[in-house]
Amino acid sequence: MEITDIEVDDIADSFKAVFYLLTHPGRDKTKSALDELYSYADSVSAQSPAKLKEQNIDIVEKTDHLTDGNVTVSIIAPALARIHKLSHACRADGDSLSLIIAILRYHSNYNYYPDSLSKLIDSGDLNAIPIDPFSNEPFVYINPNFSLRSRNR
């Protein structure tokens, strides 16, 4: 009698299910672990990726530690680091779009691009120069080619 690949996969899945049931810490411990995980996520969500790097904080490492062998929590934990990075990437994209609009508005008014981003504040096209969350520094603006980029992305 031969065992097919499908049967091997079924056996492996069955073993994983039994292992999960035998090692699952229970509802209360899972809820407690999730509460701790979400609390940690709240504490780091406002910090930029550059700030976390500066402080030597690794979200993945910390969330792995918080899962503590809990399969349910370990399924959710990796997403938190990804969500953190994506949320700051969206913020950086929005800030860079605001900069591009201000630069184009400046060009429309003066028929040349500004020498620096500070000229956008002087002209009233921008209230403040946004900070890139991946470097904690202003975006890089290069004139005359009108290039705008992040330092660390």
pLDDT single digits (tens) 31-89: 888 898 889 889 888 899 999 989 998 888 888 888 777 877 888 888 888 898 899 99
Of residues 45 and 17, more confidence is placed in 45
Single residue among 48, 69, 87 that ends a domain in this structure: 87
Of residues 7 and 128, the one with the higher pLDDT is: 128
133 and 64 share one domain: no
So what's the pLDDT on residue 13? 63
**For the stretch 57-89, what's the b/e string if a residue is b when 16 or more beta carbons lie within 10 angstroms of its beta carbon?**
eebeebbeebbeebebbbebbeebbeebbeebe
The total of structural domains in the chain comes to 2
Domain, as residue range, for 15: 5-87
Q: How confident is the model at residue 96 (pLDDT cuts 50, 70, 90)?
A: very high
